[in-house]
């Protein structure tokens, strides 16, 4: 049986360096994972190609399959947004929510392609997305409620303030590591199962388990993209919703 390191080495057909790129900005050393960067660019390119292909020569009378797929996905996400956020506020967020979900979905599934990697299997990617959501929530809360947005930190009693701050800061951490943990664990298990394929029996080796886990990983990729997006909508809804709104 091959070790996990041997499997990763054999799958590294593109020759990605094993160590991160390092450079200095002032007194700070910055490290970049070249494989994560390249895979993120590839996913963004695939997403652009998919969107352009689906929206090119759009026809309401005879829509293409890609057009229908994109429209149904947009309507589904719009329904989630409008159910939780006032449509006047939610309409302006649709581009962000749609982009976030499709990027997460493509990223989660891209790692299932042999020799490729999910950008979301890198905690730096998921943490960056979670911090972006955290900053957006605070910005929208202040935009729609002013400084009154922060009064929920001291309600119902002021001594709840430390607990509320910890709870607020925990949101991006849990949001990031839930996604990272599920996607990274899936890729590790696929690599382990690929190592088992070296055994003589495909039935009791890694072939059949790999196929089964691949199908399950596709399901997990969809679910994790949905959970991240749904929690983003929920956090924004809590920040912008007025008490009298339903």
Predicted confidence (pLDDT) per residue in 195-209, tens digit: 665 544 444 445 566
Measured between alpha carbons, how far is 224 from 231 in angstroms, rounded to an integer? 11
Look up residue 147 and give its two tokens: 């400084």
Q: Residue 85: what are its φ and ψ, rounded to 5°?
A: -130, 140
Q: What's the CA dihedral at 102, 104, 106, 111 to 10 degrees?
A: 180
| Inter-residue long-range contacts of 152-161, CB under 8 Å, 24+ positions, other chains counted | none
Report pLDDT for 203.
Answer: 44
- Report, as an integer, the average pLDDT of 176-198: 80
Look up residue 130 and give its two tokens: 């979670």
- Report, as an integer, the average pLDDT of 217-236: 95
Residue 91: how many CB atoms within 10 A of its CB? 13
Report pLDDT for 124.
Answer: 93
Q: Residue 190: what are its φ and ψ, rounded to 5°?
A: -60, -40
Measured between alpha carbons, how far is 70 from 50 in angstroms, rounded to an integer? 9
Report pLDDT for 228.
Answer: 97
pLDDT level of residue 9 (50, 70, 90 thresholds): low
107 contacts 41 by C-beta, under 8 angstroms:
no
Report pLDDT for 104.
Answer: 97
pLDDT level of residue 226 (50, 70, 90 thresholds): very high
Report pLDDT for 40.
Answer: 96
Report pLDDT for 197.
Answer: 56
Q: Which residue has the higher pLDDT, 63 or 207?
A: 63
At 97 the three-state DSSP class reads: helix
Report pLDDT for 200.
Answer: 43
Report pLDDT for 211.
Answer: 72
Report pLDDT for 243.
Answer: 58
Measured between alpha carbons, how far is 110 from 119 in angstroms, rounded to an integer? 8
* Three-state secondary structure string covering 138-197: HHHHHHHHHHHHHHHHCCCCHHHHHHHHHHHHHHHHHHHHHHHHHHHHHHHHHHHHHHHC
Q: What is the percent of the chain with per-residue pLDDT over 70, rounded to a whole number?
A: 87
């Amino acid at each position: 049986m091959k070790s996990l390191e041997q499997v990763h080495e054999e799958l590294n057909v593109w020759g990605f360096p094993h160590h991160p790129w390092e450079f200095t900005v002032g007194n700070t050393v910055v490290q970049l994972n070249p494989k994560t960067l390249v895979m993120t660019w590839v996913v963004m390119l695939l997403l652009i190609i998919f969107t352009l292909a689906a929206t090119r020569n759009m026809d309401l009378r005879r829509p293409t399959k890609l057009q229908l797929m994109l429209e149904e996905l947009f309507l589904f996400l719009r329904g989630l947004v409008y159910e939780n956020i006032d449509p006047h506020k939610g309409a302006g967020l649709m581009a962000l929510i749609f982009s976030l979900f499709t990027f997460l979905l493509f990223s989660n599934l891209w790692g299932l392609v042999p020799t490729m990697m999910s950008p979301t299997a890198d905690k730096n990617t998921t943490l960056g997305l979670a911090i972006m959501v955290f900053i957006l929530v605070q910005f929208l809360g202040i935009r729609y409620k002013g400084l009154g947005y922060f009064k929920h930190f001291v309600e119902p009693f002021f001594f709840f303030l430390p607990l509320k701050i910890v709870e607020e800061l925990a949101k991006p951490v849990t949001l990031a590591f839930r996604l990272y943990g599920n996607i990274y664990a899936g890729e590790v298990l696929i690599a382990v199962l690929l190592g088992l394929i070296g055994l003589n029996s495909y039935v009791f080796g890694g072939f059949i388990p790999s196929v089964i886990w691949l199908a399950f990983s596709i399901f997990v990729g969809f679910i994790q993209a949905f959970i991240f997006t749904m929690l983003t909508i929920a956090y924004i809804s809590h920040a912008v919703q007025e008490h009298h709104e339903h």
